[in-house]
């Protein structure tokens, strides 16, 4: 299986790259055999399917195919590389503090994961962004995520408290969501992760993290079950239709 998928625009391209780093669910067998539990929570369930209309709007989409529990692409490569769910590239516990492994991965295994899964993804994303800057003179990176807890709001936009993008981009995305009657907050708990912070340092790149609460697009009755929620349900398709309208407005506003 490819490490990631890049879906290019099927209509005239706009200066937007959408990145989906946490919706991959694949775990290699040599890693899966050491897991202490079959169900791993806090994954950005089915965002790849929720946003699969984006290339029709001229947006370039990059998405991870492997689980965040293999490597977390939205974490900075710094010590401790393996450890806390919220800060390490290789998490050893879930967001709820539960052990992920029967026996933690070795240093050699961790290094292998970095070389095979982490670095190639970031090399490709950086190359993609620089190509778009060269093509358009600027590019907007929308880092797409979803969440279950911490806040009760529907949509949270994060730009590192004003550091990763201009207010104009924030307002454009906010107004597009509110026009479809979504309740939006800005920089509330989810201020933007490593991807937002790091890639906004590239000249010509503005980056914004978009967090969507699970209940907005997933069946709430399935969210407390120890298994992946289904995507082929009425609530998901209804949300997807609304999101298509939201991102059509965003794409139209940012096409230059």
pLDDT of residue 74: 98
Q: How far apart are CA 73 and CA 21, in angstroms?
A: 6
Q: Please tell me the predicted confidence (pLDDT) of residue 222.
A: 86
Mean pLDDT of 210-217: 97
pLDDT for 184 equals 98
Query: What is the count of structural domains for the chain?
Result: 1
The domain of 20 spans 4-254
Give the span between the Cα atoms of 41 and 114, in whole angstroms: 22
Number of Cβ within 10 Å of residue 15's Cβ equals 23
Q: What is the pLDDT of residues 131-150, one digit of tens each?
A: 999 999 999 999 999 999 88
What mean pLDDT is predicted for residues 32-56? 92
Q: What is the mean pLDDT of the chain?
A: 96
**Number of residues assigned to the chain:** 256
For the ranges 32-46, 82-96, 118-132, the lowest mean pLDDT is seen at 32-46
pLDDT exceeds cutoff 90 at 41? no
Mean pLDDT over residues 229-239, rounded?
95
Confidence label for 95 from pLDDT (cuts 50, 70 and 90) = confident
Query: Tell me: the pLDDT tens digits for 60-81?
Result: 999 999 999 999 999 999 999 9
Lowest mean pLDDT among 46-50, 72-76, 212-216, 224-228: 224-228
Binned at pLDDT 50, 70 and 90, residue 40 comes out as confident
CATH number at 24 reads 3.40.630.40
Task: Give the pLDDT mean for 142-162.
Answer: 95
The pair of structure tokens assigned to 232 is 């082929």
For residue 224, what pLDDT band results from cuts at 50, 70 and 90?
Answer: confident
* pLDDT for res 118: 99
Q: What digits encode the pLDDT tens for the residues 77-91?
A: 999 999 999 999 999
What's the mean pLDDT in 40-69?
96
Residues 6+ apart with CB under 8 A from 53: 240, 243, 244, 247
Average of per-residue pLDDT across 142-164: 95
């Amino acid at each position: 299986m490819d490490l990631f998928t890049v879906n290019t625009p099927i209509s005239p391209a706009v200066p937007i790259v959408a990145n989906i780093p946490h919706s991959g669910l694949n775990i290699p067998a040599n890693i899966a055999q050491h897991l202490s539990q079959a169900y791993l929570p806090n994954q950005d369930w089915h965002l790849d399917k929720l946003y699969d209309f984006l290339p029709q709007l001229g947006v370039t989409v990059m998405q991870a195919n492997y689980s965040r529990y293999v490597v977390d692409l939205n974490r900075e490569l710094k010590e401790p590389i393996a450890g806390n769910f919220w800060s390490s590239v290789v998490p050893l516990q879930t967001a709820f503090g539960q052990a992920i492994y029967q026996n933690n991965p070795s240093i050699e295994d961790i290094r292998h994961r970095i070389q095979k899964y982490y670095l190639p993804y970031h090399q490709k994303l950086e190359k993609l962004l620089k190509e778009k800057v060269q093509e358009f003179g600027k590019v907007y990176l929308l880092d797409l995520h979803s969440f279950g807890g911490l806040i009760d709001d529907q949509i949270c936009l994060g730009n590192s408290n004003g550091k990763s993008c201009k207010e104009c981009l924030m307002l454009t995305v906010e107004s597009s969501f509110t026009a479809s009657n979504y309740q939006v907050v800005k920089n509330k708990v989810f201020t933007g992760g490593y991807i937002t912070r790091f890639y906004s340092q590239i000249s010509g790149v503005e980056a914004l993290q978009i967090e969507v609460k699970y209940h907005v697009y997933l069946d709430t009755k399935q969210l407390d079950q120890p298994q992946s929620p289904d995507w082929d349900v009425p609530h998901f398709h209804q949300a997807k239709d609304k999101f298509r309208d939201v991102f059509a407005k965003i794409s139209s506003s940012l096409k230059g």
